[in-house]
Amino acid sequence: MFVSYAHKDRKWADELLTFLAPWIRDKRVDLWDDSRLQAGDNWKTEIREAIHEASVAVLLVSKDFLASDFIAEQELPMLLERATRKEIRLAWIAVGHSSVLETPLAQFQAVNDPQHPLMTLARSERDKVMVDIAKKIADAVTIRTLAGGLRIIDETTEPIEAALENRFEDENRSFRVQAEYEPSQDRISFSGTSEKISVNDLAYLPQEDREFIADLEDSLDRNYKRWRLVRRTLGDAGGALDGEVQAQLARITKLMCSDLNAILDFLRDMHKFELEDHYARYRFICAKLQSA
């Protein structure tokens, strides 16, 4: 999670971190803000990479936030671009009264009431609002992780099946059901069906499962990047795969299958049985790979 704020609002970033502490401690949320920067760091590069890696961005919006040239010229354009491409969940918190509704952030829903920003609330009421904000952020991270796993399934089904069958990939192959991440709604919808996964569905999962979903993200992302890198080394030699490369792909795919099967188990636990039927094909491919 990337946190963007004006330096004059540092105390609000610290307060957010305090309320997110249970999720950070259990590694369900990995929070990045500029306090991680060390002397000698190329801070522009570090910030750019942090934004690129984030699945959720939280913006602490105040008059000072909107007055910051660095935020307006550097951070915000990158965040808005990724949010437009549905690559990141952009959530802003109204810290104080501001002209935010006159900016591009107006198209994104705040996670608290902009008419009653944090600065205007009594301490007890502000604590209550911050608890709600922390939960919304943690739920958004969980939904984003699930969406990332389902996207990997959609993108790898045909290539893995083609490799197992020693044939050319069918680049035009399509599937009736495909996941689509809707960050502004904190949900995943699916083409070909009315089924959806929302934060309300997370209530079906025990706490330990939700913690496990967070653990999956690093493993999935790491192995998926390795899988894509190995595939780039393949030449177009009549569809045949070099034996060593094929073995390497198989090893990486088995690791991905383990994590992705766990995500499919979560669909079952959330009673998404129509989706379970659809993704049965991927389970079959993984089982076939394991026995190959």
Confidence band of 238 (pLDDT split at 50, 70, 90)? very low
Residue range(s) defining the domain that contains residue 284: 141-291
DSSP, residue by residue, 29-41: ---B-GGG--TT-
Domain membership of residue 164 (yes or no) is yes
CA dist., res. 182 & res. 184, Å (int): 6
**Domain of 106: which CATH number?**
3.40.50.10140
Domain membership of residue 129 (yes or no) is no
The pLDDT value given to residue 65: 95
CA 274 to chain centre: 23
CA dist., res. 115 & res. 94, Å (int): 8
pLDDT digits (tens, 9 = 90+) for 151-195: 888 888 888 888 788 888 888 887 778 899 998 889 999 988 888
277 Cβ partners below 8 Å, 6+ apart? none
Asked if 148 and 220 touch (Cβ cutoff 8 Å), the reply is: yes
CA dist., res. 100 & res. 94, Å (int): 9
The pLDDT value given to residue 6: 93
Are 116 and 165 in the same domain? no
How many structural domains comprise the chain?
2
Q: Is the pLDDT of residue 283 over 70?
A: yes
pLDDT digits (tens, 9 = 90+) for 184-233: 889 999 988 888 999 999 888 887 787 788 778 778 888 888 888 887 77
Query: Where does a domain end: 120, 153, 185?
Result: 120
Neighbour tally for 182: CB within 10 Å: 16
Q: Give the position of tokens 């952020």.
A: 137
Domain membership of residue 126 (yes or no) is no
pLDDT digits (tens, 9 = 90+) for 71-90: 999 899 999 999 988 888 89
Query: Where does a domain end: 58, 89, 120?
Result: 120
Burial 97-123 (b: 16+ CB within 10 A, else e): ebebeebebeebebbbebeebbeebee
Mean pLDDT for 78-104 is 92
Task: Evaluate if pTM is beyond 0.75.
Answer: yes
Are 48 and 168 in the same domain? no
Q: Indicate the residue type of 100.
A: V
Q: Is the pLDDT of residue 23 over 60?
A: yes
Q: Indicate the residue type of 261.
A: N
Are 149 and 282 in the same domain? yes
Helix axis angle, 243-269 to 123-164, nearest 10°: 140
Of 39-43, 201-205, 284-288, the range with the lowest mean pLDDT is 39-43
